């Protein structure tokens, strides 16, 4: 069972105009990266790489989340541009909200909604091409290989690496959690191979094939989603949960948030108390998971 190819909720949501960002933009292993640190002289206890949703590394919401992860879980957090500058303009969110919203007048129905639909189509079709798996997966894999094979960015005996992926990034997170032979690197001297990531977290992942992608997961993973997500749906979520809970290592967790909309962990409406609370719970889930796995 595969996810559908388009989810309107991927192009709706609220921007975090209230967030005061504390990270920096740097070049790391050949990519532009937003870097968030714990601050206050705290030494990081692990590294987390965020793979963004469809709006890319510059979305303020995702950068604010990177800052929160860094401070709350005492982590070094990287948010790279895996889309090579091809993320859609955030102003498309207003078009998505208009298209999916009510029609208070004939003008909205007959003029504005077709206009918003056209704007989204013009942006989404090239985005799907430039961010297709064959274009982005090699770039992403190389970044993690470079992280694993180069000296750690802070003092540690062994660098522990986590990955957090949202929507578009969820598919890549599950790929990394499958820990396939080509996603491992040789350690210096010992002859053993190391996984690119030690653990993963994903909220409302998209482009995931159930059960195939889930059956192959080998690294500990935590998943947050709504029961009726646009991409996975109730049936796929039940299968996903059953597969992970049946694994012998018992190293995974799946949390289903009743009432959560697709995108709730990144672009939930802070003025909607229910969605704001669900977004905060997903953040807590990720923070607690990374503390458990990386500290």
Identify the weakest region by mean pLDDT among 94-108, 138-152, 275-289.
94-108
Length in residues, the chain? 295
Place of tokens 């189509």: 121
Average pLDDT over residues 70-96: 87
Which pLDDT band holds residue 75 (cuts at 50, 70, 90)?
A: very high
Q: Can you count the helices (H) and strands (E) in the chain?
A: 10, 10
Which pLDDT band holds residue 94 (cuts at 50, 70, 90)?
A: low
Pairing of strands 221-225, 47-51: unpaired
Q: What is the pLDDT of residues 261-270, one digit of tens each?
A: 888 898 776 6
Pairing of strands 184-186, 193-195: antiparallel
22: left (phi over 0), alpha (psi -120 to 50) or beta: alpha
Q: The whole model's pTM is what?
A: 0.88
Residue 44 has what pLDDT? 97
Q: What is the pLDDT of residues 217-237, one digit of tens each?
A: 999 999 999 998 888 888 999
The DSSP string of 241-256 is: HHHHHHSTT---EEEE
Which pLDDT band holds residue 39 (cuts at 50, 70, 90)?
A: confident
Task: Work out the percent of the chain whose per-residue pLDDT is above 70.
Answer: 87
Distance CA 156, CA 43 (A): 10
Does the pLDDT at position 91 exceed 80?
A: no
* Buried b or exposed e, range 150-179, using 16+ CB within 10 angstroms: eebeeeeeebbbbbbbbbbbbbbbbbbbbb
Distance CA 104, CA 9 (A): 20
Complete domains list, the chain, with CATH: 8-87+133-294 (3.40.50.1820), 89-130 (no CATH)
Which pLDDT band holds residue 15 (cuts at 50, 70, 90)?
A: very low
Residue 162 has what pLDDT? 98
Average pLDDT over residues 55-71: 93
Place of tokens 């499958």: 178
Q: What is the pLDDT of residues 167-217, one digit of tens each?
A: 999 999 999 999 987 778 877 656 678 899 999 999 999 989 999 999 999
For residue 24, give the nearest of 32, 10, 34, 14 by alpha carbon.
34
Task: Work out the percent of the chain whose per-residue pLDDT is above 90.
Answer: 57
């Amino acid at each position: 069972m595969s996810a559908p190819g388009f989810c309107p909720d991927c192009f709706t949501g609220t921007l975090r105009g209230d967030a005061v960002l504390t990270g920096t933009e740097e070049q790391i292993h050949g990519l532009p990266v937003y870097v968030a640190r714990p601050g206050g002289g705290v030494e990081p206890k692990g590294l987390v790489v965020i793979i963004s949703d469809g709006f890319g590394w510059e979305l303020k919401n995702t950068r604010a989340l990177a800052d929160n992860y860094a401070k709350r879980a005492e982590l070094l957090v990287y948010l790279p541009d895996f889309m090579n500058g091809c993320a859609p303009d955030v102003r498309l969110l207003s078009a998505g909200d208009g298209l999916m919203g009510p029609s208070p007048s004939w003008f909205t129905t007959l003029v504005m909604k077709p206009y918003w639909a056209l704007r989204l189509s013009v942006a989404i079709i090239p985005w799907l091409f430039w961010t297709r798996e064959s274009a982005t997966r090699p770039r992403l894999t190389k970044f993690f290989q470079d992280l694993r094979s180069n000296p750690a960015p802070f003092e540690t005996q062994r660098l522990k690496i986590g990955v957090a992926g949202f929507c578009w990034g969820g598919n890549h997170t599950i790929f990394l959690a499958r820990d396939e032979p080509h996603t491992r690197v040789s350690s210096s001297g010992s002859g053993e191979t190391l996984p690119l990531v030690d653990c993963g977290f994903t909220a409302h992942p998209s482009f995931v094939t159930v059960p195939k992608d889930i059956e192959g997961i080998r690294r500990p993973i935590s998943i947050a989603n709504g029961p009726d997500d646009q991409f996975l749906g109730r049936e796929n979520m039940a299968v996903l949960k059953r597969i992970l809970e049946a694994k012998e290592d018992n190293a995974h967790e799946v949390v289903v948030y009743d009432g959560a909309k697709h995108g709730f962990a990144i672009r939930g409406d802070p003025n909607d108390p229910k969605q704001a609370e669900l977004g905060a719970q997903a953040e807590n889930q990720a923070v607690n998971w990374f503390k458990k796995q990386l500290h």
